[in-house]
Structure 1
Amino acid sequence: MGVSQRYRSAWEGFWSATSDTPGEAIWDADPSLSSVPHGELLLPHADASLPVADLGCGNGTQTRYLATRFVQGIGVDLSHAAIAHARRADPDGVAEYAQLDLADPEAVAALHERIGDTNVYMRAVIHQSEAEARPAVAAAVATLVGERGRAFVAELTPASKAVLQQVAQGPDGPPEKLRRVLDHGLKPASATEEEVPRLLRAAGLTTLASGETALAQTERLPDGTRVELPARWFVLAGAPAGD
């Protein structure tokens, strides 16, 4: 099981072509715009003495911040090239990084066996995953949180497509950061409005809190306005033992 070779290659290609310059990836926003406010939503529900796993960590920008708020931080990503970026960006070893296919239940279970119940941070992973892999990605969150962990999941809504289309329709076409996403065959905001909460419920996750937000990007409109993509966030708990 796991993701398709096409999908795996798309992400390896993207991260292999990305430099170590912070913010080169369109979603690589400063933690002050991402994991800092998201952490404030998660922490009231979470046990900070448990680790935190950043799923789809990319170059580890958010992982490194989260590792300062929990006893331990681990970033995982499908792409080996992304993990190499994250390790280069963290010479002091603030966090740990590992390659992981979230759609591989055995690999996810092995991580849980190694680190135990963990808090989870997952920003914008389900929406761009292959449709057939999305249930497994949601199930990976449930496996990792177990009984004691809590998860923060933020996913783009279909309204983000309209924003991205607006960004792409500039006089020179899509700006460089968005063009790189599209050129590598990645498809943002492809999940439907109700698909994400349905998948989370089906995985056995209980919503403790939720709301609407916008995920800050590193690209700007011609007038200098930061691109922000409409999203929904969820703070989640796993099922108690015996359920």
Structure 2
Amino acid sequence: MGVSQQYREAWEGYWAATSHEPGEAIWDSGPDLSAVPHSRLLLPHADATLPVVDLGCGNGTQTRYLASLFPRALGVDLSEAAIEHARKADPGETAAYERLDLTDADAVRALHERIGDTNVYMRAVIHQSDPEARPAVAAAVATLLGARGRAFVAELTPASKDVLQRAAQGPDGPGPKLRRVFAHGLKPASATDEEVPQLLAAAGLTVLDSGDTVLPQTEHLPDGTRIDLPARWFVLATG
């Protein structure tokens, strides 16, 4: 089906306006706060001889860490500008990066045919996708896993909206990183609590483990506290 032109342009515009500086994107936290703890939850369930695909990889910060755990790591993102950031940040080609629209079922199937069953890492993609695109994003995870892969998926919960609202209500309004998210028309935390598990189940994914967590951001509240957005994580298999 493909994402809407407006959605594609919002992300292309965001990444085109983002510098190569680490942490410039509000969600670009270091792997020690993201892929490191997340992989500890995934690995007990996963075949680490399979490759890993980082869905919505952005500038590839987490992809490069995942490349140290799996024989091959591929980061994919809707935005060509994001992929350019990722390649520029990885001159040693620790991982590979390519543009992929997760709602393009044919392109997702072609990727699976090329690399075979793979593990998947996906952090905060469903919640900010257009509502009509979310089932296709969940289906993409299932397609890539095949029979042998396992996925780690973390998604913001609606409670994140309250945190973002507090962050935007400081005396100077939202900080510059959060302001850029809103300026480009991106809508974080717009999925309901029930929606994500329902989407995963409808895609044929089985929850092997799950829990509550936060996704640390690279910006702070007016009182200096780091913005940590409430989230829920799932370890998934097909069938």
**When the two structures are superposed, what TM-score results if normalisation uses the length of structure 1?**
0.98
Q: Which sections of structure 1, spanning at least 5 residues, go unmatched?
A: none
Structure 2 residue runs without a partner (length 5+): none
RMSD, aligned α-carbons: 0.4
Letter in 2 for 1:219: E
> Which SS does the other structure have where 2:165 is aligned?
helix
Say yes or no: does 1:165 pair with 2:165: yes
Give the distance between the partners of 1:190 and 1:178, measured in 2 at CA: 16
| 1:223 CA displacement | 2.4
TM-score (norm 2): 0.99
Matched position secondary structure for 1:27: coil
Amino acid at match of 1:18: T
Deviations 1:2-33 (A, max 9, x none): 10000000000000000000000000000000
CA distance in 2, matches of 1:221, 1:231: 18
Residue 117 (structure 2) pairs with residue 117 (structure 1): yes
TM superposition shift of 1:224: 1.9
SS of structure 1 residue aligned to 2:235: strand
Residue 210 of structure 1: aligned partner: 210
Deviation of 1:44 after TM superposition, in Å, equals 0.4
Distance 1:221 1:187 in 2: 19
Within 5 Å, give how 1:68-147 maps onto structure 2. Answer: 68-147=68-147
Runs of 4+ in 1 over 4 A off after TM superposition: none
Once the two structures are TM-superposed, the CA of residue 222 in structure 1 deviates from its matched residue by: 2.3
Are the counterparts in 1 of residues 153 and 233 from structure 2 also a CA contact under 8 Å?
yes
Aligned to 2:17: 17
Identity %: 76
Q: Residue type of the partner of 1:17?
A: A
Partner of 1:41: 41
Cα deviation 1:10-65 (Å, max 9, x = unaligned): 00000000000000000000000000000000000001100000000000000000
CA distance in 2, matches of 1:235, 1:57: 18
* Count of equivalent residues: 239
